[in-house]
Amino acid sequence: MAQIMAGDIRKGVTFLYEGKIMTIVEFQHVKPGKGAAFVRTKMKNVVDGRTLENTFNPTDKLELAHIETKEMEYLYTDGEFYYFMDKETYEQIPLNHSQVEDALQFVKENGTVKMKFFQGSPFSVEPENFVELLITICEPAVVGNTATNATKPATVETGYELMVPMFVNEGDTIRIDTRTGEYMSRV
C-alpha cells in the first residue's frame, strides 16, 4: 500500500486510521514558537460519517486508501435492501438503508449513482450533482406573495422536501443541486 507523510496531507486525502477509512476535512500545519511542529486535522469516517479531530507529527506515515468509484443504476427496493446494477457487468449489488439513505432522497428507480468501493466492498452511494425531479406536493401561490423573494415548501417524487419559489407549482419538474439540497431551476 502507498503511504503519505502527515506533513503532506491535504483536504480530501483518504487513508486508513486505526482500521477505518478516513478522509481529511480540514487540516492545519502548526509551528509553535517552542516545541516541534505538528499537523492538526479534522477527519471524517467515510463509512459512518463520524468526525474526529487528531494531531499528527509531520513525519508520521499514513497508509493511503485506494477508493474505487463505479457508476451504478438504482433498480428497486424490496423493503429491506436497495438493489443497484453495475452498468458494465450487469451485476446486482444489494445495500442496506444506512449505506444509501442520504442518496435516496435524490434518486428514483433507474437513476444513476456513483458507488464507492474499498477493497471490493461498497460503502457509500452518491447521487449525481444535479437531478431533475417532479413536484408531487406543493401549495399554490397566494396572490400578493409573489412580489418578494418568498418561498414555499414542496415535496418531490422521492419524498424529499425543499423550499421553492412561489411560481413553482405541483406537477412541475425542477432541477435540484444534490450537494446542497436546494432548488436550482424549473425544467
Q: Where are the domains of the chain?
A: 3-64, 67-127, 130-186
Domain 3-64: which CATH class? mainly beta
Output the pLDDT for position 102: 81
CATH superfamily of 67-127: Nucleic acid-binding proteins (2.40.50.140)
Residue 183 three-state SS: strand
Q: By CB neighbour count within 10 A (0-12 exposed, 13-18 middle, 19+ buried), where does 62 fall? A: buried
DSSP output for 84-146: EEETTT--EEEE-HHHHHHHHTT--TT-EEEEEEETTEEEEEEE-SEEEEEEEEEPPPPTTSS
Distance CA 99, CA 95 (A): 6
Give residue 15's identity as a one-letter amino acid code. F
pLDDT tens string 70-114: 999 999 999 899 999 999 999 999 998 878 878 889 999 999 999
Question: Using one digit for the tens of pLDDT, what is the confidence trace for 20-60?
Answer: 889 898 999 999 888 889 999 999 888 777 899 999 999 99
Q: d(Cα 51, Cα 43) in Å, to the nearest integer?
A: 6
Q: For residue 62, what are the β-bridge partners?
A: 4
Radius of gyration of the chain from Cα atoms?
21
Highest CATH level, class, for 130-186:
mainly beta
